[in-house]
Each structure stands twice: as structure tokens, then as C-alpha cells.
Chain A
Amino acid sequence: EADIYQTPRYLVIGTGKKITLECSQTMGHDKMYWYQQDPGMELHLIHYSYGVNSTEKGDLSSESTVSRIRTEHFPLTLESARPSHTSQYLCASSDRGLGFVNEQFFGPGTRLTVL
């Protein structure tokens, strides 16, 4: 069973607020990812990290930022939320080992609504 957690699960917030979505995993995985998913649409990679102090932007441009100060923690921040940021945000992690499947394990997601 995957041990990856996201808080909050649901967030409704007004325009202009700063928000941080939390993601933590207890599997010791080096790699972590943030995806954005709109209803009925595919997951889009917005950020990823290969380890502490390593962060990269994903394939979908996002105004959010991320940090990776500890292996287990990969928070995502929006400095000024807008209605266009309304979406579901999924965090995932995977192991680094070569020659293995290294599937990504997903957290339960945060459903963000910006009014």
C-alpha cells in the first residue's frame, strides 16, 4: 500500500490568496511529481524532483512553485490564486532503482477551487 499523503483534500479559497498544498511520502522515494488534472482530462506533469534541492518544471506550464528541502516532503505553492488555478492536484513518488518497474505511487489529491 502506498504511503503518500496530501493535505488538504479539498480547498475553497478566494482570488489573490497564497496557498500551499502539502505532499509527504514515507517510502523514502527520491523522485516526486506534481500533476494537474481537470475533470475528464489527462494528468499533466507540472513539477518534478529527483531528490533534495532538485526541482524542475514539467510539460505543462504552471504559475505554481515547489521546493524539496527534505526527501519526504514536496510542497506546492501558489503565491496568488486565481480562478484559472481551479483543478485537482495530484502528488506522486517513485523509486530510483535501475532495472525495476519504478511505478509512480499517487496521493489522494487536493481538489482546489478558487472563487
Chain B
Amino acid sequence: GQNIDQPTEMTATEGAIVQINCTYQTSGFNGLFWYQQHAGEAPTFLSYNVLDGLEEKGRFSSFLSRSKGYSYLLLKELQMKDSASYLCAVRYNTDKLIFGTGTRLQVFP
């Protein structure tokens, strides 16, 4: 079956670095997405990995290991506005997504 696991909650302090892990078991893997979702708002796209390795985008980086069914999102120089839920989603078959429950990150001053 399809399954995605990520921690429920994490906390960090402003200026720090945090790594949010995601493990998945899916068939027909066709890419992994990370979305950010502030409370009561729509998810917004952060990053995409389809090949193994690291993708860097400013303060955000995402890593994928397809053989291990593992990804992480790395957030550097944390800011208060980074307090949000971070959703790991796997695309399977052509373009359907299965989402994890999300990791709620709280950044403290």
C-alpha cells in the first residue's frame, strides 16, 4: 500500500537549522514534493526531487534517496515566519499525489 511518515511536530529557535524527515512506501514513484502550509491557508510548493541527491533553493534544501524511500527538507537561518506545517507528498503513476500528515514546525525567538 501507499504510506508516508513524517514527524508530527518539531520545534527550533530563530536562526537555527532544522531537518524534517520523510519516509515513504509507494508504487509507481514519480517524484517527491515538499509543501509549506500556514494555518488556515493553502499549501504552497517548496521543492521537488525526482532523482537522488540534494536540491538547494535559497534557505531551503531537499534531499532524496529513492533506494531508501527517504527524503528530508532542510531549513536554514530559521525565521519566525517559517512556523508552519511542512507536507511531504509523493507523486505516483502520472500525477496523483499522496500526502503525509505534515510536520508542524514552531520557531521560537
**Chain A contacts to B: CB under 8 angstroms:** 2, 31, 40-45, 48, 58-59, 90, 94, 101-109, 111
Write out the residue numbers on chain A whose beta carbons fall within 8 Å of the beta carbon of B98. 45, 59
Q: Contacts of B33 on A, CB cut-off 8 Å?
A: 103-104
Q: Specify which of B33, B40, B42 lies most central, judged by the most chain A CB atoms within 10 Å of its CB.
A: B42
B42 near A109: Cβ-Cβ < 8 Å:
yes
Point out the residues of chain B lying under 8 angstroms from A48, CB to CB.
96
What are the 8 closest A-B residue pairs judged by CB atoms, nearest first? A106-B42, A103-B45, A43-B99, A42-B99, A42-B101, A101-B48, A106-B43, A108-B42
Count of chain B residues with Cβ under 8 Å from any Cβ of A? 22
A7 CB to nearest chain B CB (Å): 14
Q: Across the two chains, which residue of chain A brings its CB closest to B35?
A: A106
Contact of A45 among B48, B96, B100, B102 (CB under 8 A): B96
- Residue of B40, B95, B96, B102 near A42 (CB, 8 A) is B102
Q: In the complex, are the beta carbons of A94 and B95 less than 8 A apart? A: yes
Please report which residues of chain B, range 1-42, place their CB below 8 angstroms from some CB of chain A when the two chains form the complex.
2, 4, 31, 33, 35, 40-42
Q: Which residues of B contact A105 (CB under 8 A)?
A: 45
Given contacts A42-B100, A101-B48, A103-B48, contact A31 B95 (CB under 8 A): yes
